[in-house]
């Protein structure tokens, strides 16, 4: 078989196994060395191929698909720096526990470690950020080799979906010719001799079915937590950002069954959910700024699930609350206690552990009025926010209007920096099912546009994306994907001409360097960027953003809505809301 095309059948066998494993979305960047992979997926017939000109945008688009669907999308690049451009998305997928498959084409082994064109060291290119790395063998049309390749595909998908989920990197060396030559079918005699290697297992089942890891909290650990929970007078449950949105439902069930006070991050899956049971509190970022409030609401037991909360105020409160037991329930390999607050870390799926614990009847918080006090403070804060925001147009009001405009069953993708913080502080709690997603793994602003578009592709529904002007400019090339017929995103861009978040940091007092090096005003009109990528654009007043979002969702295609804001004025208005909350909560505590 020396004259046969080895690359195409080799890549085709791998593509076939990914299809059997349920993978459907392929993101491709143009390149020569990756030709065998691209053509294999294109010729298979089971995949949706999406072409991206920018590999960094490609990586985040694929990330968004995995984030929304729970099924890894495939990102394919050629060799060299094209592969390196996937690194930011790989890091976010790793820390955000999102399934992702990265296939990089490489030069043949003889061209490595020399001066061959477009050849870099791609072995373990992404270091510890991938769940697994496979340096795929050079194509060989041999029974054992093809069986191993098919098995490798199954292993890669299993590793990508977790637990915890994350990125998997496979590096494919290909020699020329890269394009198909002659027949791309294996000889009949080869199929007869090696049927499973050539054709896979019968009935389109995967070559290898890998049982997913399902770590479970041990009975003894759960007994200990039950004992402490029964003895607790002031128990508190904190739900941080979660890759598994279904965890939010379990959190609410547990809160309802036990009466434990629940503080829910907007990305936890528990704050915006139609729940007949349980109630999440969502204004803690504002009322926990006051020392007297913290003292009045000090817990003796903290149970925490998910990643670290978005709110630095909440983290600071937890760090100083002095709880007798601070238990973290998490199944992943990552250590989710960077402030070293935990007294116990329980390894296992949080949703499953909370359900098991909640089924044990008889939980009643020991101190009468503990939950009622939290609810009273939450209500006082909510009323203060509404009164303070009435007629006031600033970024916190925009966040509130945006989340209120997302329909029940819809998806909101929120950017890092100020948008997610404004959503946390001012977004409130809604008794409707809204899925809120964001890139809180590494919390960067890179790839926000592309991730939101990928989420729309993975969710198969329109998405509202809430972001700032710097995030928009950072991923302008991502807007190319708005041309995808089945992808629709309404981008709500708060434009304060720079990095508004820095106005809330001490560096703002150093004006000699602050504006030029931190606030970084750019003067770029988002309307011109939208026109470049042929995305319909509208300038919207802050008070009208909710209606504008609803109209855009009812229309066709993606839209870009700009809301202009002044950084200095926004800071003053936010501080005024904090002061109003502090006064309202003080009055409420005096009555308790």
Looking at residue 277, its pLDDT comes to: 56
Is the pLDDT at 73 greater than 90? The verdict is yes
Are 259 and 371 spatial neighbours (Cβ–Cβ below 8 Å)?
yes
Looking at residue 1, its pLDDT comes to: 41
Number of other CB atoms surrounding residue 270 within 10 Å: 32
**pLDDT tens across 15-61, in order?**
999 999 999 999 999 999 999 999 999 999 999 999 999 999 999 99
**Angstrom distance (rounded) from CA 404 to CA 458:** 23
Looking at residue 115, its pLDDT comes to: 76
CATH number for the domain running over 7-204? 3.40.50.970
Lowest mean pLDDT among 460-469, 495-504, 547-556: 495-504
Looking at residue 509, its pLDDT comes to: 56
Confidence of residue 316 (pLDDT cuts 50, 70, 90): very high
Confidence of residue 565 (pLDDT cuts 50, 70, 90): confident
- Secondary structure (DSSP) of 355-416: HHHHTS-----SSTTHHHHHHHHHHHHHHHHHHHHTT--SHHHHHHHHHHHSPTT-EEEE-T
**Angstrom distance (rounded) from CA 71 to CA 514:** 43
- Average of per-residue pLDDT across 284-300: 95
Looking at residue 117, its pLDDT comes to: 75
Judge: domain 395-564, CATH 1.10.10.10: no
State the burial class of residue 230 (Cβ atoms within 10 Å of its Cβ: 0-12, 13-18, 19+): middle
Of all residues in the chain, the percent with pLDDT exceeding 70 is 93
What is the domain partition of the chain in residue ranges? 7-204, 220-368, 395-564
The pTM of this model reads: 0.93
- Average of per-residue pLDDT across 248-274: 92
**Which CATH class for the 220-368 domain?**
alpha beta
Is the pLDDT at 518 greater than 80? The verdict is no
Q: What are the DSSP E strand ranges found in 36-114?
A: 48-51, 73-77, 100-106
- Average of per-residue pLDDT across 433-457: 95
Same CATH topology for 220-368 and 395-564?
Answer: yes
Looking at residue 253, its pLDDT comes to: 92
């Amino acid at each position: 078989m020396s004259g046969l095309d080895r690359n195409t059948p080799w890549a085709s066998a791998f593509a076939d196994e990914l299809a059997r494993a349920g993978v459907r979305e392929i993101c491709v960047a143009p390149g020569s060395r990756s030709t065998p992979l691209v053509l294999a997926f294109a010729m298979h017939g089971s995949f949706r191929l999406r072409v991206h000109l920018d590999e960094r945008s490609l990586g985040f688009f694929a990330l968004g698909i995995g984030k929304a669907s729970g099924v890894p999308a495939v990102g394919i690049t050629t060799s060299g720096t094209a592969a390196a451009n996937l690194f930011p998305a790989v890091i976010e997928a790793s820390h955000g526990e999102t399934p992702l498959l990265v296939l990089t084409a490489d030069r043949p082994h003889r061209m490595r470690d020399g001066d061959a064109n477009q050849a870099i060291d791609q072995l373990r290119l992404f270091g510890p950020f991938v769940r697994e790395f496979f340096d795929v063998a050079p194509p060989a049309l041999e029974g054992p080799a093809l069986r191993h390749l098919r098995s490798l595909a199954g292993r890669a998908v299993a590793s990508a979906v977790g637990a915890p989920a994350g990125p998997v990197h496979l590096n494919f060396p290909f020699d020329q010719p890269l394009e198909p030559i002659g027949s791309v079918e294996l000889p009949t005699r080869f199929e007869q001799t090696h049927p499973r290697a050539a054709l896979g297992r019968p009935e389109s089942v995967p070559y290898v079915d890998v049982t997913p890891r399902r770590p479970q909290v041990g009975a003894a650990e759960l007994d200990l937590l039950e004992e402490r929970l029964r003895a607790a007078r002031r128990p508190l449950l904190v739900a941080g950002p979660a890759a598994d949105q279904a965890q939010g439902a379990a959190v609410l069930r547990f809160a309802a069954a036990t009466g434990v006070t629940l503080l829910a991050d907007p990305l936890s899956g528990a704050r915006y959910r139609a729940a007949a049971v349980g109630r999440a509190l969502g204004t803690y970022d504002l009322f926990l700024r006051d020392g007297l409030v913290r003292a009045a609401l000090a817990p003796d037991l903290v149970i925490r699930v998910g990643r670290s909360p978005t709110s630095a105020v909440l983290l600071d409160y937890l760090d100083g609350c002095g709880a007798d037991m601070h238990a973290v329930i998490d199944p992943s390999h990552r250590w989710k206690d960077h402030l070293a607050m935990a007294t116990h870390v329980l390894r296992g799926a949080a949703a499953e552990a909370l359900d098991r614990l909640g089924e044990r009847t008889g939980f009643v918080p020991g101190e009468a009025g503990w939950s009622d006090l939290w609810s009273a403070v939450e209500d006082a804060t909510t009323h203060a926010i509404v009164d303070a925001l009435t007629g006031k147009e600033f970024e916190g009001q925009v966040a509130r209007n945006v989340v209120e405009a997302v329909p029940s069953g819809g998806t909101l993708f929120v950017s890092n920096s100020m948008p997610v913080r404004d959503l946390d502080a001012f977004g409130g709690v809604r008794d409707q099912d809204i899925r809120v997603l964001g890139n809180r793994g590494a919390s960067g602003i890179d790839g926000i546009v592309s991730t939101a578009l990928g989420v729309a592709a993975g969710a198969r529904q329109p998405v509202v994306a809430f972001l700032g002007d710097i995030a928009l400019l950072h991923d302008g090339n991502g807007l190319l994907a708005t041309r995808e017929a089945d992808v629709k995103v309404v981008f709500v861009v708060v434009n304060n001409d720079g990095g508004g978040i820095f106005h809330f940091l001490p560096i703002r007092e150093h004006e000699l360097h602050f504006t030029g090096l931190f606030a970084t005003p750019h003067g770029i009109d988002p309307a011109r960027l939208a026109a470049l990528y042929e995305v319909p654009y509208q300038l919207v007043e802050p008070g009208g953003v909710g209606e504008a979002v609803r109209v855009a969702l009812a229309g066709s295609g993606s839209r870009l809505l700009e809301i202009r804001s002044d950084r200095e004025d926004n800071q003053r208005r936010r501080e005024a809301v904090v002061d109003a909350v502090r006064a309202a909560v003080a009055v409420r505590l005096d009555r308790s």
